[in-house]
Structure 1
Amino acid sequence: MREQDYRRLLDQRAWQPERVAEAAAARRRRPLRNAREQLLIIAADHPARGALGAAGHPMAMRSRADLLDRLMTALARPGVDGVLATPDIVEDLLLLGALDDKIVIGSMNRGGVHGSVFEFDDRFTAYDAPTIAAMGLDGGKMLCRIALEDSATAATLASCGQAVTDLARHGLMAMVEPFWSRRQDGVVRHDLSPEAVIHAISVGQGLGATSARTWLKIPVVPEMERVVESTTLPVLLLGGDSGQDAGEMYDSWRKALRLPGVRGLVVGRALLYPPDGDVGAAVDTALGLLEGGVPDLVQGGAS
């Protein structure tokens, strides 16, 4: 992102707020489906929940200019289908002209602030379905953490179910990200065993008055064949952070992408904050996996 573009963005944010709606109305849209029938969506909704860490650095995402620069680098790579983000980031990208011919998924519930005592009370504090439709976006994403010992889960489930219903009424994708979770030593932890992910999928896919437009965003875990068999809904793989060995991470994605019903990747920090800092190369590696290739990084197991 050029310095002049950043300065123009700051000025428009201060003195021309109407430009956001104008840019949304003028955005060139595209179909959800692409020629390869698997999507690569770049995720950037962590900051709104107070989760700024990436690649072992707790404040990696503190600079909005740096994050936007990384996002624009990723979105400019041929084959990247779109972005998943909260209104603030989507609107920055609209004003920067980075979202033409891209899928845009609005992140909806960011109220479960990372590390808070109310983290499971994951309220819808960002996009709602009418605004997603009015802005010409392509769908809405919701985090759905299910904690059997925390009564706040009931309200989160009800809110997610209503959001699925509302998005479907507007003819829009509902991207549900379900986790079987618990609080351990004061920290929310996800159970990533195959059985727990299957339990989470079973609850998540039943939310709302219809599942006709529901897609699932799930982590890559052991025994993915068994996990994917638990649903007939389209599955997008959650990329996670880049803390694990890069070769192992890419190899696990490659294997899971070959399973029936898996429709692509939704990856944020692992591609935006790779260990070597080369966002373009990390994105190209992910695109190679979608195209069925096996990049050198996967073959060699390099980290």
Structure 2
Amino acid sequence: MTVDVADLVRTRTRHPEAIAEAAARRVRRSLLGESGRLMIIAADHPARGALGVGDRKLAMANRAELLERLCIALGRPGVDGVLATADILDDLLLLGVLDHKIVMGSMNRGGLQGASFELDDRFTGHRAEDIRRLGFDAGKLLLRIDYDDAGSLNTLESTARAIDDMAERRLPVFVEPFISRRDAGGRLRNDLSAEAVTKSIAIASGLGGSSAYTWLKVPVTENPDDMARVMETTTLPAVLLGGDVGGSAAAQAGAYEKWRGALQLPTVRGLVVGRSLLYPADGDVAAAVDTAVGLL
């Protein structure tokens, strides 16, 4: 599909109500199909100022190109849906590509990449009431905890309240937890050691007044062999995140192998992957997506 930016802008300018109308007529589906697995394409990175893929710092900056890549991915067999912020989901609604797809709203995007306030990851995206009003299917939030940053307590509290808001509406919420810390240069790093990922899962699992609608979105640990032990920490269903695996074909192949092993674990129900599938090293979005679907 070729995206006509002028047409999207024309609709947004003259008929902004068309977005709500498209959401209202969207054909919905259950969260899990017959396979009990999920394959979600993630595209919520731009709203946090995270536009880079590998050594391409502004790879995701061209919105028409990003939308075209998303349309290719969503059209592949086995792809269940998309995770994105309101601006991208609104465009996809207008393009008419979200019927029979899981639509997941990204809830907190306030912790801008590289900012001094990056850990103050406030809920500047979808609210639970927005997800319900638009007929979307789930929400996602990012939870980064730095033991040396007292502000992490505010993040924990706001995350718990968001989980409560989603549970009250019986809407699934995917929580992406990390133990994070700043390196000597002040850059925020996520700790992917088995101990850190185990702690982050334990903390996230206990947030809110109910875990009935809580899913986890977790990374594969530095040593993939640790994943079986790490995932024993919870009974909550989980999906694997992709992250930026780098710009080489070898790095992409390595990521596939890590996902393949972790997907065999009983609590792991699928993949939520964005940049590595939308911007693969060889440029072939369809092939990258098909390979990831094949892992399920």
Normalised to the residue count of structure 1, the TM-score between the two structures is 0.94
- Shift of the alpha carbon at 1:9? 1.3
Aligned counterpart, 2:289? 283
Aligned counterpart, 2:208? 208
Match of 1:141, SS state, is: strand
Match of 1:21, SS state, is: helix
- Contact 1:242/1:275 (<8 A) preserved: no
Question: What aligned pairs does 1:170-209 form with structure 2 within 5 A after superposition?
Answer: 170-184=169-183, 185-209=185-209
Aligned counterpart, 2:227? 224
- Shift of the alpha carbon at 1:50? 0.3
Aligned counterpart, 1:166? 165
Could you tell me how far apart the structure 2 residues matched to 1:123 and 1:197 are?
22
- Contact 1:174/1:215 (<8 A) preserved: yes
- Shift of the alpha carbon at 1:22? 0.2
Q: Quick one: which amino acid aligns to residue 238 of structure 2? A: V
Could you tell me how far apart the structure 1 residues matched to 2:74 and 2:282 are?
19
Aligned counterpart, 1:263? 269
- Shift of the alpha carbon at 1:39? 0.6
- Shift of the alpha carbon at 1:249? 1.0
Could you tell me how far apart the structure 1 residues matched to 2:182 and 2:255 are?
26
Could you tell me how far apart the structure 1 residues matched to 2:215 and 2:233 are?
13
Could you tell me how far apart the structure 1 residues matched to 2:94 and 2:288 are?
25
- Contact 1:242/1:270 (<8 A) preserved: yes
Q: Deviations over 1:88-137 (max 9, x none)?
A: 11101000001000001100000000000001110000100011100000
Q: Deviations over 1:127-169 (max 9, x none)?
A: 0001110000011110000001111111111111000000011
Could you tell me how far apart the structure 1 residues matched to 2:116 and 2:6 are?
38
Q: Deviations over 1:184-218 (max 9, x none)?
A: 12110001001000000011111111000000000
Q: Quick one: which amino acid aligns to residue 271 of structure 2? A: L
Match of 2:82, SS state, is: strand
Aligned counterpart, 1:248? 254
Question: What aligned pairs does 1:73-222 form with structure 2 within 5 A after superposition?
Answer: 73-184=72-183, 185-221=185-221, 222=223
Could you tell me how far apart the structure 1 residues matched to 2:151 and 2:18 are?
38
After TM superposition, which residue ranges in structure 1, 4 or more long, deviate above 4 angstroms? Answer: none
Aligned counterpart, 1:8? 7
Aligned counterpart, 2:59? 60
- Shift of the alpha carbon at 1:176? 0.3
Q: Please say which of residues 243-252 and 134-143 is displaced more in the overlay.
A: 243-252
**1:234 and 2:240 matched:** no
| Long gaps (5+) in structure 2 | none
- Shift of the alpha carbon at 1:78? 1.2
Aligned counterpart, 1:24? 23
Could you tell me how far apart the structure 2 residues matched to 1:55 and 1:274 are?
10
| Long gaps (5+) in structure 1 | 291-303
Normalised to the residue count of structure 2, the TM-score between the two structures is 0.96
Could you tell me how far apart the structure 1 residues matched to 2:10 and 2:49 are?
26
- Shift of the alpha carbon at 1:6? 3.3
